[in-house]
Amino acid sequence: MRKIVSGFFISLDGVVESPDKWHFPYFNDEMGAVIGSGMATSDAMMMGRNLYEEWSQYWPNATEDQDFAAHINGIEKFVVSTTLKSADWQNTTLLDGSDLTAQITEIKSRPGKNIYANGSPTLVRSLLALGLVDELQLLIHPIIVGTGARLYDGLADIPLKLESAETFSTGVVYARYVPGK
């Protein structure tokens, strides 16, 4: 069975919004290897409306970072939205969110690699609340951002078990969590 794996760049105070404003001073080859591994172990991506609208405008015509453009354009994409009427980016399926648990359970039962859900904190919060995230991969940056969307806003009593943790030379901690106590 496929797994939903969610990954985020996250600050010490839980902010995941606009990592382009605080993340890059901490990026190095160690982090690049983690991101590359995530891409290699997944063959699909799940995203919310906001990320879909942003990326579907950029990546199909991207001339920079062609390796990532080829990857993201080619993989299967699932967009969860109650407001989008269509999703025209190649290899994209629109999930209307009407019975998200049933829709995602069916997708997870299909053959394939992991389904990566990143960059959509609202969606991931919903998936966590429904018990649909199989692994949470956090790149915890040693910075307090102060403002911005936080990954855990509105969530409570969701026990997680630390599977592994590694500290990078930049002070970033790569932590992997799975459901459990």
Q: Could you read off the pLDDT of 54-77 as tens digits, one per residue? A: 999 998 988 777 778 888 899 999
pLDDT at 138 over 90: yes
Q: Please tell me the total count of domains within the chain.
A: 1
Q: What is the CATH number of the domain that holds 152?
A: 3.40.430.10
Measure the CA–CA gap between 30 and 37, rounded to whole angstroms: 11
Q: Report the predicted TM-score, pTM, of the whole model to 2 decimal places.
A: 0.91
**pLDDT of 112:** 95
> Is the pLDDT reported for residue 38 higher than 90?
no
Position 70 scores a pLDDT of: 86
The dihedral sign for the CA sequence 127, 128, 131, 133:
positive
Domain extent at residue 141: 4-179
pLDDT of residue 96: 86
Helix (H, G, I), strand (E, B) or coil at 83: coil
> 172 exposed, middle or buried (CB, 10 Å; 0-12, 13-18, 19+)?
buried
Mean pLDDT on 138-164: 95
Decide the pairing of beta strands 114-118 and 76-80: unpaired
Q: What is the mean pLDDT of residues 109-114?
A: 96
Distance CA 136, CA 138 (A): 6
